[in-house]
Amino acid sequence: MNSHVVVGDPAPTIDLETADGDKWRLSDHLGRPVLLIFHRHIH
């Protein structure tokens, strides 16, 4: 597995659940700029 990321490389498949419980897929935003911000939620 190659761990080097280069601008222009295809993004991996990302399927997430939003804070509202909705599904969010990176593939639904193909061709548009996307900024992902990850944070750890502590209960």
Give the pLDDT of residue 15. Answer: 93
Helix, strand, coil percentages (3-state) for the chain, rounded to 5, are 10, 15, 75
How confident is the prediction along the chain (43 residues), in pLDDT tens digits per residue? 556 778 888 888 889 888 899 999 999 998 899 887 877 777 6
Give the pLDDT of residue 20. Answer: 92
Question: Looking at residue 11, what DSSP letter applies?
Answer: P
Picking from 12, 9, 37, the residue whose alpha carbon sits closest to that of residue 25 is 12
**Rounded-to-integer distance, Cα 35 and Cα 37, Å:** 7
Give the pLDDT of residue 43. Answer: 67
